[in-house]
Amino acid sequence: MPSGPELTGMRKAAVLMILLGEEVAGKLIKHLSPEQAARIAREVATLGPIDPQLADGVLQDYFSEALRPEERSGGAEFARRLLARAVPADQVDRLLGVQDPTAQFLKPVLEAPSGFLAGALAQEQPQAAALILLNLPPERSAGVLRSMPAAAQGEVLLRMASLRRVRGGMLGEIASSLGQRLQAGEQEPAKEAAEQGSLDGTAAVLSALNRNEMRRLLEELKGKDAERAAALHEKIFTFDSLALADGRGIQEMLRRIDTKKLAIALRDAGAAVSDKIMGNMSERAAGMLRDEIEVMGKGRPEEQQAARKEILALALELEQAGTLTFGEEGGNV
């Protein structure tokens, strides 16, 4: 078999697989594409006994490459991160004795709420998001990464792990641009959060009233502000409210609901709601419903939301007709 300079990269990989043994090589080859794995396997099939000198040369090449140190460099950012490990963050600039413009650019980023910053970074290129997160305190970066959409988390994490040197001013440019967008957009999320808080508080007050008073006030509000009335209605009347419905009303509701739709709605539902509904079915019907839920799998969230909304609307319609009643104890009803 060829040796020295005639040995191709693919054949060297095949030799290495043989030297590592079947178990270790099997774990390594899982990380290759099917085409790469097949090419190496074909090379392995053509190899006979491995010459000891060749084996030694391949192993030396492998460990030399594997242990080669990454390219390193100093600079203001490295000094800042190094010093931050030893002293409080607010003392870093003073102890360094220099005015780092990047710190100024990073200030809005550091002060932004994690959820807000996560949303802004999700709109950036993964490389840019990775660079920002690598220059924030680890706990802060972890919180922001956790708040990012699941689809973006893996991509950003990959860039963080593989990011090497970047152009000197790139962090400052990215942080400056991001900071401007954060400052421009921070008022809207604050307004939304305030409105959300007032809706939650109003819903809690309405839930403490009896059903007739609650419905009367919601109808009055509907005539003045239909959008807010609808938002309050959704907060007060939830799918979990069915756990407080009376048994006869639940039975009447079940006579009007398709089993498949009910299975979609009950998937991952709370135990109280599931127990209430299945407790008002025959043992055979409840068993069939459980089987339907198990066979169905996860499904689409929007489909489940639509099914729950339709079932809840039917329950509220039956309540209006006097066929179903809700208990009055605590919380949403």
Q: What is the pLDDT of residues 220-268, one digit of tens each?
A: 888 888 888 888 888 888 888 899 899 999 999 999 998 899 999 998 8
Please report the pLDDT score of residue 318 as a whole number: 92
Q: Give the residue, 219 or 135, on which the prediction is more confident.
A: 219
The kind and range of the H/E element at 210 are none
Highest mean pLDDT among 16-30, 131-145, 213-227, 299-313: 299-313
What single letter denotes the amino acid at residue 74?
Answer: G
pLDDT category at 116 given cuts 50, 70, 90 is confident
Average pLDDT score over residue span 130-154: 79
Q: Give the residue, 103 or 306, on which the prediction is more confident.
A: 306
Give tens-digit pLDDT for 50-72: 888 887 777 777 666 654 555 55
Give tens-digit pLDDT for 216-233: 888 888 888 888 888 888
**How many of the other CB atoms lie within 10 Å of CB of 46?**
9
**How many of the other CB atoms lie within 10 Å of CB of 242?**
25
Please report the pLDDT score of residue 332 as a whole number: 41
Separation between Cα atoms, residue 161 and residue 121, nearest integer Å: 17
What single letter denotes the amino acid at residue 266?
Answer: L
pLDDT category at 13 given cuts 50, 70, 90 is confident
CB 304 within 8 A of CB 267: yes
Token pair listed for 177: 């641009």
Average pLDDT score over residue span 148-155: 78
CB 253 within 8 A of CB 311: yes
Please report the pLDDT score of residue 329 as a whole number: 45
pTM of the model: 0.41
pLDDT of residue 139 exceeding 60, the answer is: yes
Token pair listed for 190: 């604050």
Give tens-digit pLDDT for 268-281: 888 889 999 999 99
Separation between Cα atoms, residue 265 and residue 305, nearest integer Å: 7
pLDDT, mean over the chain: 76
- What totals of helices (H) and strands (E) does the chain contain, helices first? 20, 0
